[in-house]
Each structure stands twice: as C-alpha cells, then as structure tokens.
Structure 1
Amino acid sequence: MTSNETKSVYKSGENAITKDDLVKSALNIGALGMEFSWTYVNQMGLAFGLMVKKMLKKIWHDDPAGYAAALERHTAFFNITVALAPFVGGIAMSMEERIKAGELPPESVNDVKAALMGPLSGVGDAIFLTTIRVVAAGIAVSMAAEGNPLGPILFLLIFNVPQYILRVWGIVKGYELGVGLLDAASESGIMDKLIKGAGIVGMMVVGSMTCSMFWATLAVSFGSGEEVTMLQDVLDGIMPGMLGLGCMGIYYWLLGKKIHPSLLILGTMVVGVIGVYLGILA
C-alpha cells in the first residue's frame, strides 16, 4: 500500500475515525486489560468492547440503537493473544463503518473476529509466551542471581516493549488493511464469498475449541476382570470428542431457551461435582 492509498483510508469530518483514535484505543484500559476483565461467559469480550467503545460512538453518533447493538456485538465471546487484540479491533472498526453504511450484515464482523482468533493466537502465543517471555526470564533470572537489580526491570522491558509496539502498529494496520480489503472485495464482487468464508472458518474455530477446551471423561465401565471396557473408550472409538460435542449441543439448546450463561456455568460445576462423587465422571 502506497502512502497515497494509506491517506485515502481515513475519512474527514468530526465523527471520522482518525489514526489518533486508533492509537488511543490500542493503549486504553480495555486494550491493556484484556486479561483483567476475563469472564467465563465472554472471556475477553468485555475488554474488547471497552477498547473500541469510543470509535463505535463516532461511527454510530446519530443512531443510539445502532450504537447499543454495536456494543453488544463487540462484547461477545472473544479470546486472543492480548498484543494482537488491537489488530483485530482495527479490522473490526473498518467493518463497522461498512455495517453503518448498510454494505455489510452486522453478524459478519463477529464471523471475521472468530476466524482470526485461532490463527493469530497460534502465532502470538508462540512469539510472546513461548519465545520472548522465556528469553526475557532467562536473562532476568541470571542477572538477579548475581544481585543485579536491573534483572526484573530488563524482563519487563524485553517482554513488554515489543508488545506495545505491536499494539500501536497493529490497530493502525488492521484498520488500513480492513478498509483496503473491503474496498477490493466490493469492487471484485467477492464480498459475499469473503463473509461466507469467514463464517465457515469461525465455526471451525468454535468447533475445535469445543473439543480442545472440554476436560471431562466418563468413568463408567462395563464387563469384569480383564474384559472391563470403559464407556469413554467406546465413545472415543466411534468419534473422538463425542462427549464434548454432545455437551455443546445441550448448551446450545439451553441458550436457545434463553437460559443465562452464568446459570449454565453454575449448573456445569454442580453436575461436575455430583458426577465425580457418584463415579460417573472422572
């Protein structure tokens, strides 16, 4: 993208999103508090909504109902390597402008966010948690062991400076990339395919999380002596993750009945305790 193209991304006017708005959002309490406002219901959703709140206010300045709906959209389930959340926020705001203009369906923005969560988290975790954090800790520990008080300070600098740079760069580039991508998609007529593809990838991410984030097994067995067979082994032989898929189906049905997620979480805890006590779950 050339400098001229980059300039054309930003609109003019009192309620237009500026680069300054993007940078402030990348460093506000929502962006920096992704882990501190984590909930079992929406994980980082509340923090994401707080991160983009002021920009949503600009986009929907003349439509209070639209603003309320946008806030609800952006406090939905979200989970990612925290340093990459602003990048997704930039893309999301470029899409919100299109939603406001009636060029995109409202649900498309969460499809795209869900599609980005898995791939970006895989890269982000590998870079920041597995690599930079380990290197920073190794340097800091060796310095601290020698009595050097700069050890902890150096750890914080090595681990956090790259993150802050990525936050600021990411939200700006995310917005510019989002606008450019949406413009190109509109001109080429592949917008519907792009949204459909994002929705499919988003469902795949949710499906993989259904299996990887379900940690219960059945302790029920049948047979005797050396012929004992675990029911969990039978289910895994038919289809690994069947128990998690079944539970997800039950949760989905209950959510459709307007059961609050907090009640589902509490119910899951109760069922888990009782199931272990009765020897049904392990």
Structure 2
Amino acid sequence: MDSIKTKKISKDEKKLLKKMYWRSFTLYSAVTPAKQGASGFSYAMQPFLDKFYTDQESKRQAMVRQMSYFNTNLAVYPFILGVVASMEKENSEKKDFNSESISAIKTSLMGPLAGIGDSVFWGVLRTIAAGIAVSLALAGNILAPLIFLLLFNIPVQILRWQSGKMGYILGASYISELYENGLINILTKAASIVGLAMVGAMTSQMVKLDITWNMLLKGKKVLETQKMLDQIFVGLIPLIITLISFYLLKKKNISINYLIFGIIIIGIFLSLFGIA
C-alpha cells in the first residue's frame, strides 16, 4: 500500500485517467450478445492507446485486444480499466512484454469483481439507500428520491474514480516487477485458468435448453429424457451447443449474426415440435 501512496502520476496520466473515468460511463451503451460491453471498454481505453502507441500496427493490435468479451459490475469496472491501461503502457515500452497477459488479466478480473460489486452495491448499498428513502417518503419528505440517488451514487462514484487510479498505479508498480522476476508467465497462466473457469461458469448459467420430449408407452411416460441426460452429465446439451458454436466461430469463421439467427430458428423449430 505504501507504493500506491508514494507513486507519482504525471499530469498527462492524470488527464488520461480523467478521460477514462468519464468514458467509463458508456460501458453498456452499445451492448451486443457476443461482446457485451467490449465497445464501451475499448472507447474508455482509447486515450491511453493513442498516447502510448506510436506504431499504427501495435495500436491496431491493442485496439483488437480491447474488443474482446467484457462484462462486469459498473462500480468496480474502472479498476480493471486502470490495470489494463498500465499493462498497455508496459507493452508499448517493452518489446519482449507478453501481450497475452493483458487479455488474461482482464478476463480473470471481471468475474470476481462483478460478484463483489453486485453483492456490495446492488445487494447491500442499494437496499440501505432505498430503505432510508422509503422511510422519508412515507413521512412525506419530497426529497426522498434525491436522497436515494445521493446515498447510492456518491459512494459508487468515489470508488469508481479511486479504483481506476489505484488499478493504474498497481499495474505500473507490480506488473513490471513481476515481469523482471520472471513471474509474469505464471501470472498469465493462472489468470487464464481463472478466466476460463469464469467463462465456463457463465456458460452453465446462461445457456439453457431442456428437452421436454419424453418416451411414452400406451399413454404413460416411461422415460423422461431430460432426467436421463442429467444423470449422464448435467448441462450436456448446453455444453454441446456452446462447443459447436465455438468451433463454428473459431474454425469455420461463421459470423456471430448467422449463429444467433440459426440458434433462434432451431429453438423455434424444437419448440413447435415439442422437443424442447
């Protein structure tokens, strides 16, 4: 923590952090099923990329990195921006920097921080603020809605600004040290594992398909297909759908739009025939 306090940020970096803070409000302004808030993340990072990269090809690669899937809680999101910005700076200054570590760290952070942010801010702070505001509203206080907004948003915005700055300082202080000690590859591997585990957990929660077709004999149900599949492997069909979609995206270069429409059409077909 002492290094965080003593680390000095230049005037140019402070300007970049301010731009990042204001741009961070646009995270979910252009959400897509495949990328979620990737375009908002890229927009918030752009001032740093313009500053750090003079070579156009390196900048292009950095911009592509920022357009990977991203989804997390808005209150803690600037911390990830700060860490990624500091790593992009290191990457622009060191030719042997492992750029894959940037995406790995970004992916591994968004899941755990989303859980913390949702629990603390949506689950606790919002409930407390709403409880106070409702009590005031029942007492006839016309300022109750304003008080709710202030009680909820002031702590969130303070955290957003401070966490963005802290993430930038932490990255600049420790990522370089890890790299010099040869630990960055270990960190990248660990972050990749956490990121894959997080994506796997999201897949099991977000991809749903239950088979409703059952085998009947003389009007009586003799086999419940979904229960049988669950006994073999819970979530088997969603996993197969996910793996096939991944294969078509990565190996066959099928457009995400074609995949979305294809899944919708298949879903309608399965529903009409009572299969799922």
Q: TM-score by structure 1 length? A: 0.90
Partner of 2:229: 235
Instruction: Using the TM superposition, give the Cα deviation of residue 140 of structure 1 relative to its aligned residue in structure 2, in angstroms.
Output: 1.7
Instruction: Using the TM superposition, give the Cα deviation of residue 252 of structure 1 relative to its aligned residue in structure 2, in angstroms.
Output: 0.7
CA contact (8 A) 1:115 1:201 kept: yes
1:98 aligns with 2:90: yes
How many residues of Structure 1 are paired with residues of Structure 2 in the alignment? Answer: 273
| Identity over aligned pairs, percent | 35
CA contact (8 A) 1:115 1:199 kept: yes
Cα displacement string for residues 135-176 of structure 1 (whole angstroms, at most 9, x for unaligned residues): 112222222233322111011111111111111101110011
Partner of 2:258: 263
Structure 1: distance between partners of 2:129 and 2:98: 44
1:83 aligns with 2:69: no
Instruction: Using the TM superposition, give the Cα deviation of residue 42 of structure 1 relative to its aligned residue in structure 2, in angstroms.
Output: 0.5
CA contact (8 A) 1:41 1:262 kept: no
CA contact (8 A) 2:27 2:40 kept: yes
Instruction: Using the TM superposition, give the Cα deviation of residue 227 of structure 1 relative to its aligned residue in structure 2, in angstroms.
Output: 5.0
Instruction: Using the TM superposition, give the Cα deviation of residue 226 of structure 1 relative to its aligned residue in structure 2, in angstroms.
Output: 5.7
Instruction: Using the TM superposition, give the Cα deviation of residue 3 of structure 1 relative to its aligned residue in structure 2, in angstroms.
Output: 5.7
Structure 2: distance between partners of 1:79 and 1:98: 24
Instruction: Using the TM superposition, give the Cα deviation of residue 280 of structure 1 relative to its aligned residue in structure 2, in angstroms.
Output: 1.2
- Aligned match for 2:115, one of 105, 116, 122: 122
Instruction: Using the TM superposition, give the Cα deviation of residue 19 of structure 1 relative to its aligned residue in structure 2, in angstroms.
Output: 2.5
Partner of 2:181: 188
Cα displacement string for residues 173-224 of structure 1 (whole angstroms, at most 9, x for unaligned residues): 0011112221221232211111111111111111111111112211121243
Partner of 2:193: 200
Partner of 2:164: 171
Partner of 2:2: 2
- Aligned match for 1:212, one of 201, 205, 210: 205
SS at match of 1:235: helix
CA contact (8 A) 1:136 1:159 kept: yes
Structure 1: distance between partners of 2:154 and 2:61: 35
Query: After the TM superposition, which parts of structure 1 deviate over 4 Å for at least 4 consecutive aligned residues?
Result: none
Structure 2: distance between partners of 1:188 and 1:229: 59
What are structure 2's unaligned runs of at least 5 residues?
none
Amino acid at match of 2:108: A
CA contact (8 A) 1:210 1:248 kept: yes
Structure 2: distance between partners of 1:241 and 1:104: 39
1:27 aligns with 2:19: no
Structure 2: distance between partners of 1:219 and 1:3: 59
CA contact (8 A) 1:88 1:174 kept: yes
Q: For residues 41 and 4 of structure 1, do their structure 2 counterparts lie closer, same or farther at Cα, with a shift above 3 Å needed?
A: closer
Q: For residues 81 and 273 of structure 1, do their structure 2 counterparts lie closer, same or farther at Cα, with a shift above 3 Å needed?
A: same
- Aligned match for 1:254, one of 248, 252, 268: 248
Which sits farther off after the overlay, 96-105 or 76-85? 96-105
Q: For residues 265 and 187 of structure 1, do their structure 2 counterparts lie closer, same or farther at Cα, with a shift above 3 Å needed?
A: same
1:56 aligns with 2:49: yes
CA contact (8 A) 1:52 1:89 kept: yes
SS at match of 2:45: helix
What are structure 1's unaligned runs of at least 5 residues?
none
Partner of 1:37: 30
Structure 2: distance between partners of 1:230 and 1:99: 55
Q: TM-score by structure 2 length? A: 0.92
Partner of 2:125: 132
Cα displacement string for residues 34-85 of structure 1 (whole angstroms, at most 9, x for unaligned residues): 233222121011111111111111111x111221221121121000001111
Structure 2: distance between partners of 1:4 and 1:160: 25
Q: For residues 71 and 204 of structure 1, do their structure 2 counterparts lie closer, same or farther at Cα, with a shift above 3 Å needed?
A: same
Partner of 1:143: 136
Q: For residues 223 and 144 of structure 1, do their structure 2 counterparts lie closer, same or farther at Cα, with a shift above 3 Å needed?
A: same
